Amino acid sequence: MPVVNVALYAGRTDQQKADLAKAITKAISKTAGIEDSATTIIFQDVEKSSWSDGGVMASES
């Protein structure tokens, strides 16, 4: 059973997350040859003030 963790900047709508979940699930099912129901997706909403790339806070860019 695949478990996918998706960390995104906070602010995505429930519909955006649902659409992304469907797309990820379909890609895994097609590639791995498993049923959609076998895939679990966990979304983590992260504030820009809690995210850094290359030592630069996302909230600063």
- Catalytic (active-site) positions: 2
Distance CA 39, CA 44 (A): 17
Burial 44-53 (b: 16+ CB within 10 A, else e): eeeeeeeeee
